[in-house]
Structure 1
């Protein structure tokens, strides 16, 4: 599939899956109603991040690739002064705005959303204006060039501002997740390193959360690999100092069906020998 506009293809994929009714944001995995009825409710991903993210009271934050804004709202509820969610999917942002409006007295009033590709963030947001750039689970795999992304992060942060990422580990992304093995072995199938913008293409008529049966029209998506060294070096070259890197033995979805078990808090871990491979990581860096 040469000369394909992967960003447009991925946008169509997300636009179809984002609407609240009936498929994606309405899934019990997103717990939208809990955000609306409980003014203190946080996403399970945000709760996992609390020990490392720490106090963000009064900070001006931007959440890159925010999707439907559940983690964006969670940052506001953690005490951020303001949180801007940026995403390239207008349908996803429409759901985020609905959520913010429904929670306008419990954090939603501090949230705004901006439509743009992450690479275009500096054309729609002020430069060197944010105390915290936040990137959550399932974001970096959608961008082809990690060095270009790191430059955007550096451009958004004020001097002394912080980047916080919790993301799927590159090693997890390289594993075969389609063929359960009775022997419990983990098999490397997909690329670990970047390949000059070359994508791994998937054709799947589903979404990663539970939903009612539905036949999707946009089933093809493209993902991009980034090795841990490539991510760290890109940030260093962009003028950030890495201040923390933790690897975790859990991930917030059933990433390898048949070999994982739910361990609470929306997290899954390997059923046995969890020390074999990291599943997610948290990386923090400060702009010099």
Structure 2
């Protein structure tokens, strides 16, 4: 396993954070114009998320903080954590612009329980496109368990490991190209561009990524003292994950143009830490 994956991936995210903040896809101006605005990634899961008012929450791998601040607007007392200083600079700038009290902490996710209080959070939240940057889902689950108070819950919506295994360059068939299961060596990509609308040109284009099977994720959580309470698979994803083969719906979710029932694209999972 490449030891330097963190610095390689951090450079990629640091370079893209300003472009993400400037892109209409992250809707920072809508946050400023409408105090009730909730980012569509969080809004999609409101029926499953339930009432978070008064909960102490932490958003792991929070990027520029739009989902974190959305949870804050829903009444949770939020902290966001990310390893990218450029991303956190954008998150803090947004929070200050909005007068939002969310705190943002710089840390690698595996060290989150070393820099944040343990057994303290009612809610640990993880959003789309986070787990693929981690070589070990079991280590991540152990961090989640340390952060949660007994009875606290993990809430995660993620890209489905089946989606991550598909070749997104193919336009004719759905081809399984990449590992579905977690493997030791990373998938190494060298690709320009990013997933939002931008004219920016990037130079830090290498990334190191891993997939984690759905069973591996659930097993890791169970092994660390969490009880699965919800698992819903979705036929949609909040960006055009398979370019040229998807259509955008009114809910700001992308779905396959043909044969939507063939493959899950995302999932929502909730698990509760056992104990008194």
Give the TM-score, by structure 1 length. Answer: 0.94
Q: CA deviation at 1:36?
A: 1.0
**Secondary structure of 2:103 counterpart:** strand
Residues 170-198 of structure 1: CA deviation (Å, up to 9, x unaligned): 000001101211xxx311001100012x1
How far apart, in 2, do the equivalents of 1:137 and 1:264 lie?
19
User: Which residue does the alignment assign to 2:179?
Assistant: 191
Q: CA deviation at 1:273?
A: 1.5
**Secondary structure of 1:13 counterpart:** helix
2:240 to 239, 254, 257: 254
1:40 to 36, 41, 46: 36
Distance 1:215 1:247, change over 3 A: same
2:139 to 136, 141, 148: 148
Structure 2 spans left out of the alignment, 5+ residues:
none
1:202 to 189, 198, 201: 189
**Secondary structure of 2:249 counterpart:** strand
Alignment of 1:70 with 2:56, yes or no, is no
Alignment of 1:90 with 2:89, yes or no, is no
**Secondary structure of 1:194 counterpart:** coil
User: Which residue does the alignment assign to 2:230?
Assistant: 244
User: Which residue does the alignment assign to 2:208?
Assistant: 222
Alignment of 1:59 with 2:45, yes or no, is no
How far apart, in 1, do the equivalents of 2:252 and 2:86 lie?
25
How far apart, in 1, do the equivalents of 2:26 and 2:2 lie?
35
Residues 255-276 of structure 1: CA deviation (Å, up to 9, x unaligned): 1112111112220001111111
Structure 1 spans left out of the alignment, 5+ residues:
none
**Number of aligned positions between the proteins:** 274
Name segments (4+ residues, structure 1) moved above 4 Å: none
Residues 45-69 of structure 1: CA deviation (Å, up to 9, x unaligned): 0110101001001100000000000
How far apart, in 1, do the equivalents of 2:3 and 2:229 lie?
37
**Secondary structure of 1:131 counterpart:** strand
Residues 8-58 of structure 1: CA deviation (Å, up to 9, x unaligned): 100000001112xxx221101011011112100110101101010010011
2:128 to 131, 137, 142: 137
